[in-house]
Structure formats: C-alpha cells, structure tokens
Amino acid sequence: MTAKLAFDNEKYIQEQKNGILERAKKFSNKLYLEFGGKLMFDYHAARVLPGYDPNVKMRLLQALKDNADILLCIYAGDIERKKMRADFGITYDSDALKLIDDLRGWGIDILGVVITRFENQPSALQFKSKLERRGLRVYTHQYTKGYPTDVDSIVSDEGYGANEFIETDKPLVIVTGPGPCSGKLATSLSQVYHEYKRGVFAGYAKFETFPIWNLPLKHPVNIAYEAATADIKDFNLIDPFHLEAYNHKAVNYNRDVEVFPVLKRILKKIIGGKSFYKSPTDMGVNRVGFAIMDDDATREAAKQELIRRYFRYRCEYVMGLTDKETVQRVELLIRDLNLELEYRRVVEPARTAAIKGQEKGRGNEGIFCGAAIDLGNGTIVTGDNSKQFHAASSLILHAIKHLAEIPDKIKLLPSNIVDSVLNLKTNVLNEKTLSLDLMETLIALSISATVNPAAKLAMGKLDQLHGCEVHMTYIPTPGDEAGLRRLGVNLTSDPNFSTKDLFIL
C-alpha cells in the first residue's frame, strides 16, 4: 500500500549524525550515548511518521560505526518473566538474539551483552550461558546500591564500582537494548564512573525518538507515544527544568524528568564539578522533529495509531496480559482528541461482515467472525468465517482476488485441496478446529498455485497487502496472527474470542 510520505529520512540521518558528533566533541575522550526505543524495525515510528524507514537508526549506525562500539543491555527480570515484544510476538531475550543477528547482517558487531539487575535468575543464567557458548562476551550488572537517593553510595566502589568495567576502544559507545527499562542508563553511568577513575573525560547523552521535544505536548504524535507506553505508566509533560533554564517549552516524559535531579547530582559527583546539563532535554540528541515534512499527515497517522493501541490493550486485558488501568489511560487519550473507534475505517465493515455471516449461519460453534482490509485506494474488502475458513483466511483470499481482478466465481482453492487438508486435520491430527487458519490457507494456496493459474496470479498480489489496515471482530488465533504478521498488515481486533475453548493451538 502506498502511503503519503511525511518524513525525510535522508535529512534525518544527516541532522542526527551531525547532532551526535557535535555532542561527542564536547567530551574530549569518550561519549556514552544511550539509544532509546527500537534500534531496528521501529514500526511504531513508521506508523506515526509516514515514510519513516523502520531501520533508519541502523543506517545512522552504519554512518557512525567506524567511531562507535555497541553494548546491548537486557533486564534480567524481562528474561525471567518472558516479556513479549508485541509486534514480533517474541520474547525480549529472543529479540536480543535477533537484534544481534540483524546487526551482523548490516555489517555491525556488538562489543558485548550486559544483563542488568542480575540476581542469578535461572532464565538469565541460561541466557548468559547460551550467548557465551556462541562466542559472545556477556557482562552482569547488579542493582545499583543506594539508587536513587543515596548518591554517595551510588557513586562509589559499592555502587557503580561494583559492576565489571567493560573495555571499549572507540570514542563513541552506543548503549542500546530491547524495550524500555533495560538498564541502559545505569550501564552508561557505571561506565562513565569507571572511565573517570581511569582518568578518562567521558560524557553521557541520550538519543530517544519519542516524545518529540519540539512538537506541542498535545500533538497526536506525542499522544500516540504516551499510549504506546501506557502499560508502564509513562506520560508526557513540559520539561520544567528546560522551561526554567531557557524560558522555552520542550516536551519530555515523566521518567526522564523525575530522574534528572538525581542524574544531575550523580554526574556532578562523578566528574567532581559543575553539571554539564541544565535539563533532561539538554541530555537528549533528537532531531526527528526537524525531518517532518507534512504535519497534517503525521497528525492523522498518529490518531490511527492511538486507536490501534486501544484495541490492542483491550484484547490484552481480556487475555490477562495487562490491567484495566492501562486500558482506561488510553481511552482517556482517545477522548481528549474526540475520536471514535469507528474513525478507523475498517472497524465498521468488519463488524458488518460478522453480522452478515450470522445471517447466513456461517459460524462455527455459533460464533460469527468478520474481518475487513483497507487496500489503500479507497477500497475495503471483507471476509467472514465458515466451516472451511477462518475470517482472516476468507479476507486475504477475497483481497488478493480483488487485486488480481479475478471474478468471484473462480475459486483459488479447489475443493479437493481444501477437503484434503480438512481430512488431515480431522482424521490424522485429531484437531478440534477444522476450518483453515490463515497460515494453513496460505500453504494450501501455494499448492494450488502449481496447477491453478488464477491462484498463482493472486499469490503475486500478497506483497501489496503490506502496510494495509485490517480489523477483525475476534482475537486472532496463533495461525491467523502469524500469517497477518508475515503479510505486514496493521492489525486490530475486538476483544472477543473465536471459540468457546480455553486452550487454542
């Protein structure tokens, strides 16, 4: 799907590179740069800033790699509780492994992995062993003694000094990690402490994409970021320290503002003199706001993302993955912008498709599901569930038939192929759910394409679904979710289950 471009990646890379190098010059020996947000596949940024390259930070890293070492941080608690990255459906420790592979694919090696707030958690120990046996250097950092109030303990051999020093060679050290609260700040400051003990004039700075400091506080892009972090209760505010120091409004978020007085004292204690920064905004090196070319387009995209987040949290709530307060926080943000859920164009058609399926008696177990996709050219295609197909499967088949201009009466999947798969599920695999989920449907379609020209033509249209908006009236089954993720659509769903069973494969 072709979207209206609102962001200039080339300008951003140049602005951001210059900003980082300019900051590094202020420290004669070394700069530890905390990379916040996602280093790769930043789909949130791509959704709210149309045209944003999800891997633009990797391109920036390539431009800096001759002068930079990279440390990857991961919080031991996230490993232990198997915290998930929602857009990939994988745990944070798996995401860390994927990130290392992706970096290598871009010709960039990491110096080492730091497991933070390490307390010999069994899963964290297993993760450490796995990395070390693959030849990676792994460091473990404990919870910092005295943090956050006892600065004398923090900046001491029992505080930051208790952590193993990580030898680095380059003048710029990029400290990154999967997701928020991974321990990037503590790792950076621990390193700065050790550097000063060795007589090295090292500095600290932060690179965070959101919130965008030079957009208004209530700009939809900043509100969408607040929604994205509602589960960890982040919220945006005007940086009071920046306002006092410069009489200029800048947007930051609560954790940076709350920790700044402590961080300022810590840095003063380390360097034994005056603090380098007057505000948390000063610490940041963020030029993303200067690369926005179309403010109206970003506002519209951010409103859509806000609604998407709300649907996600509602589903996570009924699945027991988040709390009611998170849902309510995002609901208030939606009300602040006077938005209705139906502002998302695919919501109403999906619900209508479910009703039509009910009228035709096409549901399984008396449950009726509908789905809709916006093809980006004003066309919305729908699908509903049946005895043979999940609603997601029906939807994708209808969509690619439409794109290939194949008449409705021509079948992409002949009955003999469908019956063969259904027979396998019934008589061999003994599955309770017989209708085909999306992954099963796509595999059957690939088989059909070997003998069916129409199926082959339709399959060639699958890549045109990337970036399209999809809504379903039910929480997708694993096979539906995996298929839709592989197709790269932006999915939302109503908080309903597709079956009365509690256990779903």
Quote the pLDDT of residue 2.
Answer: 47
Three-point CA angle 169, 172, 173, nearest 5°: 80
pLDDT single digits (tens) 16-37:
999 998 998 888 779 999 988 7
Can you give the pLDDT at residue 432? 65
Residues 6+ apart with CB under 8 A from 58: 39, 40, 102, 103, 106, 108
From residue 211, give the alpha-carbon distance in Å to each of 15, 90, 216, 227, 329.
17, 25, 10, 11, 17
- Which is nearest to 193 in space by CA: 241, 149, 145? 145
| Whether pTM exceeds 0.85 | yes
Q: What is the pLDDT of residues 117-148, one digit of tens each?
A: 999 999 999 999 999 999 999 999 999 998 88
| Percentage of the chain exceeding pLDDT 90 | 70
Asked if residue 313 has pLDDT above 50, the reply is yes
Contact (Cβ atoms closer than 8 angstroms) between residue 188 and residue 175: yes
> What pLDDT digit, counting tens, does each position of 136-189 carry?
999 999 999 988 889 999 999 999 999 999 999 999 999 998 777 789 999 999
HEC readout, 426-446? HHHCCCCCCCECHHHHHHHHH
Asked if the model's pLDDT at residue 56 lies above 90, the reply is yes
* Spatial separation of the C-alpha atoms in residues 26 and 7, rounded to whole Å: 29
Rounded CA-CA distance 200/3 in Å is: 48
